[in-house]
Amino acid sequence: MLTGELRSNIDRVWNAFWTGGLSNPLTVIEQITYLLFLRRLDELQTAKESQANATQSPIEDPIYTPDQDDLRWSRFNGKDPETLFRLFTQPDGVFEFIRSMGKESAFGRYMKGATFMIPTPRLLAQVVDLLNLIPMRDRDTKGDVYEYLLSKIATAGQNGQFRTPRHIIKMMVALLAPQPDDIICDPSAGSAGFLVAAGEFVAEMHKQALLKTATQDHYRHRMLMGMEFDPTMIRIGAMNLLLHGIEPEQLADVDALSKSNAPFADAATMVLANPPFKGSLDADHVMPDLMRTVQTKKTELLFLALILRGLRPGGRAAVIVPDGVLVGNSKAHRQIRRELVERHHLQAVISMPSGVFKPYAGVSTAVLVFTRTDTPDSTNQVWFYDMRADGYSLDDKRAATGPAYEKFVDLERLIAQQPDAPITTTDIPDIVSRWRNLGNEATRARTDQSFLVPVDDIRANAYDLSINRYKEVVYAQKTYDTPEAIIAQINALDAERQADLRALTQLLAEEPATA
């Protein structure tokens, strides 16, 4: 957990970049990522040296050779700014070292095209000194530090890079409840927020299972897979995974929808994603299988087809989509909805308020939960939930209004108290609680906040998945007094006023004059 002092130190790092001339949030995060990677490499080398000393044997697979010793964090840390800057920028210096690591490390292969952009010796020395103040000894602290840094991207909101809100990610992960043997994918990974949260859920909720060597190996190397074509974001996502104790070996730098991603088929047991909402692709570059599922150029529809393709039969998904996917009247929109309902098992549509992505986007969204079955008539009924509150104000400020939960165990505690003590400031615990007890939803009316809809009703409405299509609104009858009665009430009030005025006048007349 981040303390106030730790947050303050991180803010000082950010402000140092800002005042030093780097104001683009992605650039700042990327440069910090490089420095954190260097610090981690030095820690790994130190661990290898300690093991070699203990066993009186040569260092196994050293990261640094003896002639590269001055490139280590612990060696250049504390040097004067000019010397430090030369070490980073010279042809055989620190930055070139990590650029040339290539496939020798899980993170190193994403360094192709990386650029050192810290402009001055003073800024570099200042940031190195500030990073030294941040304890990075355990995985939880490292992960929390990086997550807090990533929140600055959302704060700045530039270049269209907006992270999915952390609490929405946690809700979706809690709905699917990943298991230690799952293979979890995000085909639009970005900063790897979904993957990290899924890993956190398994680490917190399945501690005993992770004590087994084989399970731990699967967790660290094969459980989480993602795709991202933006080279900056893939470096940020890779570091996010690394600092949470997971090797980003399954993070692919590929356009998920392109023909080059053809191997992504029957690969994942679970998908968690918030694909791009706006976008149109050239059909010639899109994977042919996806075009057979849905004839469109719209990315939000193609990603749903990709997810169905990438899931193994029986695999589950929770995906954020814009409302247009739910109600669009085009042939492609109806085609993908029909695909979900008729050939697979569409389980839930959780409608979210339009303020969830403010201040950067006001579009209304929903979470679709479905299972790939490849079997007709798998969908019998669909659960709809009308989320009205997510624990934050729905204006541009997005101020917290509900209970905070940094860990999944905290969210589980809130879920456990539903429905005995419902929380009115956030619907998330109620959503997860009701999802886990869907049998109790059968008695809910369509005037309630959540209810089940038979598949025949959905077919009859051209596969429209908007909750407003099925929700019933009860209008309360209100009666008003007749005009005659209102006039009588006004006359009575006027008579009362006149009586009070006469009494006041009489009181003033009887009061003796003062000298």
How many whole angstroms separate alpha carbon 110 and alpha carbon 493?
80
The full set of domain ranges for the chain reads 4-141, 162-470
The reported pTM is: 0.85
- Strand order through the sheet with 450-454: 251-252, 224-227, 184-186, 268-273, 311-322, 365-371, 345-352, 381-386, 450-454
End-to-end alpha-carbon separation of the chain, Å? 75
Give the pLDDT score at 144.
Answer: 79
129 membership: H or E segment, kind and range: helix 121-132
- Name the region of 513 (left: φ>0; alpha: ψ -120 to 50; beta: rest): beta
- Contact (Cβ atoms closer than 8 angstroms) between residue 14 and residue 148: no
How many whole angstroms separate alpha carbon 235 and alpha carbon 425?
36
One-letter identity of residue 389: A
Q: What is the dihedral angle through the alpha carbons of 421, 425, 431, 434, rounded to the nearest 10 degrees?
A: 20
One-letter identity of residue 462: A
Q: Which fold has domain 4-141?
A: Ferritin (1.20.1260)
Give the pLDDT score at 27.
Answer: 87
Per-state percent for the chain, helix, strand, coil, to nearest 5: 50, 10, 35
Q: Which CATH class is domain 162-470?
A: alpha beta
Give the pLDDT score at 248.
Answer: 87
Phi, psi of 59 (to 5 degrees): -70, 130
| Closest to 126 (Cα-Cα) out of 70, 75, 80 | 80
Give the pLDDT score at 162.
Answer: 58
How many whole angstroms separate alpha carbon 138 and alpha carbon 337?
45
Q: What six digits make up the tokens of 343? A: 């050939």
- Name the region of 56 (left: φ>0; alpha: ψ -120 to 50; beta: rest): left
- Contact (Cβ atoms closer than 8 angstroms) between residue 315 and residue 372: yes
Give the pLDDT score at 139.
Answer: 67
- Contact (Cβ atoms closer than 8 angstroms) between residue 455 and residue 338: no
Give the pLDDT score at 160.
Answer: 39
- Contact (Cβ atoms closer than 8 angstroms) between residue 74 and residue 46: yes
Those residues with Cβ within 8 angstroms of residue 6's Cβ, 6 or more apart along the chain or in another chain: 134, 135, 145
Give the pLDDT score at 312.
Answer: 97
* pLDDT per residue rounded down to tens, the chain (515 residues): 567 787 888 888 888 888 888 888 888 988 998 998 888 889 889 989 999 999 989 988 888 989 999 999 999 998 999 999 999 999 999 998 888 876 566 677 788 778 899 999 999 999 999 888 877 766 667 777 888 888 777 544 443 345 788 999 999 999 999 999 999 999 999 889 999 999 999 999 999 999 999 999 999 999 999 999 888 888 889 888 888 888 888 998 888 888 777 778 999 999 999 998 776 566 667 888 888 889 888 889 999 999 999 999 999 999 999 999 999 999 999 999 999 999 999 999 999 998 898 877 778 899 999 999 999 999 999 999 999 999 999 888 888 898 888 889 999 999 998 888 888 999 999 999 999 999 999 999 999 999 999 999 999 999 999 999 999 987 777 888 899 889 999 999 999 999 989 888 888 888 776 55
How many whole angstroms separate alpha carbon 9 and alpha carbon 26?
19
